[in-house]
Amino acid sequence: MIGNFKTKGCKMIEIKSVSKRYYTSSHEYTALDAVSLTLSKGEYLAVTGKSGAGKSTLLYVIGGLIHPDEGSVLFRDRNIYDQSRSEKDAYRKKEIGFVFQQFHLMPYLSVLDNIRLACYEKSHYDTIDSYLEKCSLTELKVKFPSELSVGEKQRTAFVRAIISNPEILLADEPTGNLDPGNSKILMDLINTFHLNGGTVIMVSHNHDIVKYADRIITIEKGKIIAQSQADAQQ
């Protein structure tokens, strides 16, 4: 089983009128403009839109990495940006798993050690082997990122993201560097995580990818301009 969740459906994340602006010397750029959104536990949300629309900003705001200028992000009814720095760190450590387009594996750590980096309880270490098996990484666990294919790197990054049983998986263009075959393998893994009760928020502009989601929102110029329930492949 990938992920370890039971209940589904209750409200998990509520984003209320979140705005985020960036400033350069010459102009102001609005990445998010009063975005509001609610996510249920176990939901699979795909965020699409053009480059620079604000998709990744939304993802990182939810992940506690970008402080919004206005609005609030409630996780289980608590605004994560009202919390102390250590509480926010704990939120990212325990509730969030990140998968990035660029994998961001530590180049000096083996596959096994990259995954161990995200473990903070003994039970996490105990499950590494089974995740490696499910993601076809067992034979590669002593290899370093430079010895892996892009698909293997992304599968390693995926295991690292979910090894600590986070509630939410935030994926930022996870298939952006993968060929169709590896994309499908990764999406199946993410989908399995979702089917086991995990909440997924995935940023992508690949329509073949977003079809896995329960709900798709489209962002343009920092605003949600469209929202639809997808025909999930479950």
Partner 1 sequence: MNPFKLVIKEILYRRISSVVILITVIVASSVAVSIFSLSKASENETRKIMREQGLNLYIYPKGTNLIDFYTVNNTGTFPESYVDVLATSKTFDAVRHLTGILQVRFPEWEDPNGSKHQIMLFGYKDEAIQKYLQEQETMGFDVAKGTVVLGSLISKNIKPGDPFVITGEDGKAYSYEVAKRLSEGKGLMDQGVSFNLEDLQQVLGIPGQINKIEALGCVCKDGRIKNARTQVQNIFADLEVTEISSIADARENQRVMMNKYGAFIIPFVILSCLLITGLLFYQNINARRREIGLLKAMGRSIYSILYIILLKAFILGLAGGIIGFFAGSAIAGYFGKEIFLFTAQSIKPIWPLFYGCIVIFPVLWMLSSWIPALLAARIDAARTLSEE
**Which of these segments, 58-66, 74-82, 189-197, 217-225, binds partner 1 (CB under 8 A)?**
58-66
Token pair of 36 as six digits:
């509001």
If the CB atoms of residues 167 and 214 are measured against partner 1, the closer one turns out to be: 167
The answer to whether 89 contacts partner 1 (rule: CB under 8 A) is yes
Distance CA 66, CA 18 (A): 11
**Which of these segments, 38-46, 71-79, 108-116, 187-195, binds partner 1 (CB under 8 A)?**
108-116
The answer to whether 124 contacts partner 1 (rule: CB under 8 A) is no
Residues 173-232 that bind partner 1 (CB under 8 A): none
- Residue 107's CB is within 10 A of a number of other CB atoms, namely 9
Q: Which of 34, 74, 119, 232 binds partner 1 (CB under 8 A)?
A: 119
Distance CA 177, CA 93 (A): 26
The answer to whether 29 contacts partner 1 (rule: CB under 8 A) is no
Q: Which of 91, 131, 193, 212 binds partner 1 (CB under 8 A)?
A: 91
Q: Which of 37, 39, 66, 159 binds partner 1 (CB under 8 A)?
A: 66
The answer to whether 14 contacts partner 1 (rule: CB under 8 A) is no
Q: Which of 4, 11, 82, 106 binds partner 1 (CB under 8 A)?
A: 106
Strands (E) in 9-123, as ranges, are 11-23, 28-40, 44-49, 70-75, 78-79, 96-100
If the CB atoms of residues 200 and 214 are measured against partner 1, the closer one turns out to be: 200
**Which of these segments, 109-117, 130-138, 206-214, 220-228, binds partner 1 (CB under 8 A)?**
109-117
**Which of these segments, 6-14, 33-41, 61-69, 194-202, binds partner 1 (CB under 8 A)?**
61-69
CA distances 173 to 53, 74, 205, Å, are 14, 24, 8
- Count residues near partner 1 (CB under 8 A): 30
DSSP 213: -
Residues 148-177 that bind partner 1 (CB under 8 A): 172
The answer to whether 96 contacts partner 1 (rule: CB under 8 A) is yes
Distance CA 65, CA 50 (A): 22
Distance CA 53, CA 206 (A): 15
Token pair of 71 as six digits:
């609005």
Distance CA 46, CA 217 (A): 6
Sheet holding 11-23, edge to edge: 28-40, 11-23, 70-75, 78-79
- 160 in Cβ contact with 132 (< 8 Å): no
Site residues, partner 1 (CB under 8 A): 56-57, 60, 63, 65-66, 85-86, 89-94, 96, 98, 100-102, 104, 106-109, 113, 116-119, 172
